[in-house]
Amino acid sequence: HAKSAGRNTYKFFTAEMNLQVRERLELENLLRQAEARNELSVHYQPQVELAGGRLIGCEALLRWHAGERGNIPPDRFIPVAEDTGLIVPIGRWILKTACAQAQAWRQAGLGDLQVAVNASAVQLHHGDFVETVATVLAETGLPPDLLEIELTESTLMTDADSAAATLRALKVLGVGLAIDDFGTGYSSLAYLKRFQLDRLKIDRSFINDLPADKDDANITRTIVGIARNLGLSVLAEGVETPAQHQFLLEHGCDEGQGYLFSRPLPAGSMEALLRATGTRGGA
């Protein structure tokens, strides 16, 4: 009995694995053609000053409309793009698109809106990342301080020496640096200091159950304290309720991003918002 049960389990797992492998391969093939087919777009999520609600920037978030298969969320296809290296050309496209967009808004007189672009470890450790950023800034004309690169703790910790060198080169260019999903990965304060960051983004998992969850409340207060001590700005991700907003304000968090303020918006809607409200650097 044990033997046949074992065999069935084995069969079950292989069938399951085959399906996963096939789905992944299919996703990979679709993803290879996504850019050429104009299936990729960038949405922009407003970032605001918690006191007063002023717009201070936006985060560029990749969207993929895969033809008949519809929208595929980043959490499903980014890992595939990372494993296959496709994140490198796609990442270049996002960077270029987001910087060109921010510059177009400036030139239309809509203000100096900083745009934050996510970068994976694969991109950061790919030889020409700094050169790619420099080229995109030169080609689009966007002032370097209006670009921020978001990196996670695990990205910084994989090959920390090489990451530190890359970040130093990005600082020389004048680009802003943020640590994304802060609190979910492993990092030491000594490392944080070494990386010349500008901003900590508190992961949404700590914000979600505020203010009721005492552990999350303590963690959030602690992260705000760390940011203060290191002289960094601090932004809360995933702010959805007025009660969360209030808690963050009371505990010294400067900035927020989340559905309470706005969902990620297609470029046209972001532009309409800019026309309606203006930005920090705007007229």
**Least separation, in Å, of the C-beta of 219 and ligand C2E?**
17
Judged by CB under 6 A, the residue of 61, 86, 121, 202 near ligand C2E is: 61
Scanning the structure block, which residue is given the tokens 């065999």?
7
The three-state secondary structure class of 276 is: helix
User: How many Cα atoms are found within 13 Å in the side-chain-facing hemisphere of 66?
Assistant: 16
Binding status of residue 215 toward ligand C2E by CB under 6 A: no
Judged by CB under 6 A, the residue of 57, 183, 256, 258 near ligand C2E is: 258
Window contacting ligand C2E (CB under 6 A); options: 22-30, 167-175, 212-220, 236-244:
236-244
**Least separation, in Å, of the C-beta of 278 and ligand C2E?**
22
Among residues 111 and 258, whose Cβ is nearest to Mg ion?
Answer: 258
Supply 143's token pair: 């002032």
Q: Yes or no: say if 219 and 199 are a contact pair by the CB < 8 Å rule.
A: no
Q: Yes or no: say if 240 and 259 are a contact pair by the CB < 8 Å rule.
A: yes
Judged by CB under 5 A, the residue of 103, 118, 220, 244 near Mg ion is: 118
Which residue from 174, 172, 183, 177 is spatially nearest to 195, judged by alpha carbons? 177
Which residue from 152, 132, 28 is spatially nearest to 89, judged by alpha carbons? 132
Judged by CB under 5 A, the residue of 181, 216, 254, 255 near Mg ion is: 181
Q: Considering CB distances under 5 to 8 angstroms, the limit depending on partner class, which of Mg ion, ligand C2E, none binds residue 197?
A: none
Binding status of residue 74 toward ligand C2E by CB under 6 A: yes
Q: What is the DSSP letter of 185?
A: S
Look up residue 266 and give its amino acid. P
**DSSP letter string over 220-239?**
HHHHHHHHHHHT-EEEES--
**Least separation, in Å, of the C-beta of 52 and Mg ion?**
23
Q: Considering CB distances under 5 to 8 angstroms, the limit depending on partner class, which of ligand C2E, Mg ion, none binds residue 262?
A: none
Judged by CB under 6 A, the residue of 115, 238, 254, 255 near ligand C2E is: 238
Binding status of residue 259 toward ligand C2E by CB under 6 A: yes
User: How many Cα atoms are found within 13 Å in the side-chain-facing hemisphere of 70?
Assistant: 1
Residues 113-132 that bind ligand C2E (CB under 6 A): 118-120
**Least separation, in Å, of the C-beta of 46 and Mg ion?**
14
Q: What are phi and psi of 199, to 5 degrees?
A: -150, 140
Q: Considering CB distances under 5 to 8 angstroms, the limit depending on partner class, which of ligand C2E, Mg ion, none binds residue 57?
A: none
Pinpoint the alpha helices (H) of 175-266. 189-194, 204-207, 214-230, 242-250
Which residue from 57, 62, 58 is spatially nearest to 42, judged by alpha carbons? 62
Question: Rounded distance, CA 248 to CA 227, Å?
Answer: 14
Among residues 60 and 192, whose Cβ is nearest to ligand C2E?
Answer: 60
Among residues 19 and 208, whose Cβ is nearest to ligand C2E?
Answer: 208
Tell me which residues touch ligand C2E (CB under 6 A).
45, 61-62, 73-75, 78, 91, 94, 118-120, 150, 180-181, 204, 237-240, 257-259, 264
Tell me which residues touch Mg ion (CB under 5 A).
118, 150, 180-181, 237
